[in-house]
Amino acid sequence: MLRMTDGKKLGFATRTIHEGQAPDAATGALNVPIYLSSTYQHSAIGKNKGYEYSRLTNPTRDALEECLRSLEGGTSAHCFGSGMAAITALCTMMKSGDHVVCAFNVYGGTQRVFDQVLVNYGITFSYVDMMDLAALRAAIRPETKLVHLESPSNPLMTVTDIRAVVGVCRESGVEVSVDNTFMSPYLQQPIELGADIVMHSTTKFLNGHSDGLGGVLVGTKPEHDERFRFVQKCTGGILSPFDSYLLLRGIKTLSVRMEKHDANGRVVADFLAKRLGTEHVYYPGLKTHPQHELAKRQQKGFGALMSFETGSLTAADDFLKRLKLCALAQSLGGVETLMSHPATMSHASFSAEERARMGITDGLVRISVGLEDVEDIVADLEQALG
């Protein structure tokens, strides 16, 4: 880890630019080279310069992983080809007979891989409201190995008290993993709050430019490093050198981007609350949000994600078709403002009954507020709302 000469850790923004990214020894290049080589020369049997084959390790990916490790405050980081590849790798810590407790309001793809893929290997999953600590405590069994949550949740922006969840899990020796995609390490530090593992879809705010898929697991124990490195080696779902470069480039501006995302998000949320009523807008930055005070304590800001209710599928479709600047598209966290319809996009794999139980209606629309001039974003929303 980079430190000042007096031993103090460098600031967050400084580490986004420099951690793991020393000038190239051969040329002095300030950007980490894209090492496209799949293999590396050995000087003799069993002798190499630290690299053998790029599925195992690659200099560009190594630089990225060191940077992400530092930003999340972990002891190791391992990058994968997508966020879903990362969540799948996380579950390789389990074996047949093990049990995972998961937040009931996670991303639809997470529950899909749990309930339609990993259950076939003898792992069982339970879903609870993580704000109900009694329910969480009751869900933990002797065979429970992991509790997994997102905060804020997708798409209703429910904030979970991470420190409180960790406290319950410590009673039983169960590890806690947190999907920190919505906040990024700039706005939230789950490991500081006691989490054992942090995951991201790096496709989102970490990349920030909607031009590269990826995922990462940041661990805090030697066994995390050993296990996730072994999974990279054995399954091969690693991040490519070029995508590693794109992600490193995006991370360099993470601090300034998240500040702008957060500032724009607050303005857009205020506009929607005045236009539609606060009861129809889900954003932790609104004082009427039920976890507003918790978000203030746990997060550095409120971020760019929010959802609002239009009233029906027809109303949502009409609104989305009238947009001129904002784009209806999958994903979030890019420089452009992205709109999504959770019922038919991120949570389409849930049944209508499951979505209703989660509070996801056919009229719900999610916004990932981008970096455009906020007056232009608001104007587009205003005209589309009619």
Residues with active-site annotation: 55, 107, 179, 204
DSSP labels for 61-80?
Answer: HHHHHHHHHHHHT-SEEEEE
In 3D space, the residue among 43, 73, 269 whose CA is nearest the CA of residue 185 turns out to be 73
SS3 assignment, position 20? coil
- Please choose, from the candidates 159, 157, 160, the residue with its C-alpha nearest in 3D space to the C-alpha of residue 169: 160
Residues 336/209, Cβ–Cβ less than 8 Å:
no
Are 111 and 350 in contact by the 8 Å Cβ rule? The answer is yes
Residue 281, SS3 per DSSP: strand
- Strands (E) across the chain are located at 76-80, 99-103, 124-128, 144-150, 175-179, 197-201, 215-219, 281-282, 305-309, 327-328, 338-340, 364-368
